Chain A
Amino acid sequence: MTFHVASVGMGRFGKRPEGLIALATEAANLALEGIGRKPVDLLVVGSMFAHGPHGREALLPRLVGSLGLETSSGFRVDSSSGTGAMAFHTAVLALETGRFERALVIAAEKMTDRSTAETTKDLSAALHMSEVAAGATMPGLAAIVTARYLQEYGLSTDICDVTAVHARSMAARNPNAHFQKPVTMEEVASSRPVALPLRLLHCSAISDGATAVVVEKGTGPATVLGMGQGFDALRLVDREELTTFAATRIAARVAYEAARITRKEVNVAEVHDAFSPFLLMHLEDLGFCGPGEAPKWFAQGWVGLDGRLPVNPSGGVVGRGHPVAASGLAAIGEVALQLRGEAGQHSIATRPKVGLAHAVSGIGSHNFVTILGGPAA
């Protein structure tokens, strides 16, 4: 049995006046229109912050109502910033039982109606309590990992700025991205410190947004070729290595094996860069280059739209914006758009045959890799 992404619905990411249900409904309607409103019999929804006094509870019945679905089954999943990918994997695994024909997958987050302090606290739920007790936050731990990487390979902070410039230059072509303007090396290097070496423009933004995709039986340019997940210790102190993410390496190995391809066959990648320098480590962990080699890929321009491996044509998490639950599905949706030739201004130079989408939960404790492409000959 094979399944493919038949339609992608992307709402605009950023500060939006609408609430969670409206954002999710907008993206879902776009995806449903893409298939001519054919019936879906499975609904999978991902949201991390669908709680609190904002009418966000009972997410599934609300969405079934707002979308007028006649869905027989539904699930809600949550894996912090990996939620969107988890929702997609859940839908594919459920379809593989043979009990469903077509799934609507929605991942949505409403974040800008809360204070930065509240959101920082909410996001810390993806970290270990002992780290938060010591005052650590997601950017704080990401700074420690980044500092180790720079030290390990004798790099200056310039490379962090290069990754942020890359993210924003890609996002500037994507009309749905939170950030529509490119930034310069100087602007990144002079943005305010968050936790050095990380500065504001290295860090993903608090955004509202939703993505939806329809997955159905059959094949197409965005057929699901392979999926993989990987875990790592939740506490940073328990990880054997700090400059590489075991959860990404494991997820990639499983996905490549399932797809029966090697990384050399991947033509486009959407890589989870909640902090722009993490792009370097994840590119290495996905097998595209060896340890410490990713900076060279940026220096040589190999990650550009016409490079040997275009990376994050959507802008990635830093450029596209980070409605946490939606990001993982937005990465899968972007790869599907590229494969289907529907990416418009942010299309890579040559229409790809195989694409890889990556998502990260927390500080890399549970990561996902999804490989889509035309069916094997």
Chain B
Amino acid sequence: MTTAATIDLTRCTSCHARFLPNEGACPRCGSSDCSAYSASAVGTVLAATELQYPASGWHAPHRLALVEVADAVRVLVIVESALPLPGDLVEVRRDGDVYRARPEPTE
């Protein structure tokens, strides 16, 4: 039995917005009073694309997906597998400044 993977999301104490990534201030109200909380790392792919000309530092083809995790928080992730389809479930993890995703492990 493995423990389900989790990811840290951010909650704004002032306006209760939930978001990622946390860059020190709430993107809705600007408050710096934000705290992390743990949620399931499994999210649903909303849309994905494969960039033939990614930003500097990355090599083509570079796959990006917009993923919705718990509490309707959305995160832009680098996809490490074949390009997912909308509705696919992926497991999201933080890797330094970026987030990465791979297909949700199946038992």
Using a CB–CB cutoff of 8 Å, the interface residues on chain A facing chain B are 116-117, 120-121, 124, 130-137, 139-140, 143-145, 147-148, 151, 192-198, 233, 235-238, 242
Contacts and interface: CB of A to CB of B under 8 A. Distances in A.
A238 B19 contact: yes
Interface string B44-74: 0011111111111110001011100000011
Contacts of B16: none
B78 A143 contact: no
B51 A135 contact: yes
A236 B27 contact: no
Interface string B67-107: 00000011111100000001000000000011100000000
B97 to A, nearest CB: 5
Contacts of B56: 117, 121
Contact of B53 (A120, A130, A134, A236): A120
Nearest to B57: A135
Contact of A195 (B19, B49, B76, B99): B49
A206 to B, nearest CB: 12
A196 B49 contact: yes
A139 B53 contact: yes
A197 B48 CA distance: 10
A139 to B, nearest CB: 7
B53 A237 contact: no
B20 A237 contact: yes
Contacts of A137: 51, 53-55
6 contacts: A130-B97, A135-B57, A136-B55, A137-B53, A151-B86, A237-B74
A140 B48 contact: no
A131 B57 CA distance: 13
Contact of A238 (B27, B58, B99): B27
Q: How many interface residues does chain B have, given as a range?
A: 20 to 34
Given A121-B56, A237-B66, A148 B46 contact: yes
A144 B47 contact: yes
B46 A242 contact: yes
Nearest to B17: A238
Given A237-B20, A238-B28, A136 B53 contact: no
**A interface majority secondary structure:** helix
B70 to A, nearest CB: 14
B77 to A, nearest CB: 7
A120 B52 contact: no
Contact of B49 (A130, A140, A151, A237): A140
Given A120-B53, A144-B66, A237-B66, A134 B46 contact: no
Contacts of A236: 66, 74, 76
A117 B54 CA distance: 9
Contacts of A148: 46-47, 66
A142 to B, nearest CB: 9
A235 B64 CA distance: 15
Contacts of A197: 49
A140 to B, nearest CB: 4
B19 A237 contact: yes
By Cβ-Cβ distance, the 8 closest A-B pairs, closest first, are A135-B58, A143-B49, A147-B47, A135-B54, A237-B74, A238-B27, A140-B51, A195-B49
Contacts of B65: 144
Nearest to A237: B74
A198 to B, nearest CB: 8
A194 B55 contact: no
Nearest to B27: A238
A194 B52 contact: yes
B92 to A, nearest CB: 12
B28 to A, nearest CB: 7
Contacts of A151: 47, 86
Count chain B CB atoms within 10 A of each CB in A131, A194, A236, A237 and give the residue with the most: A237
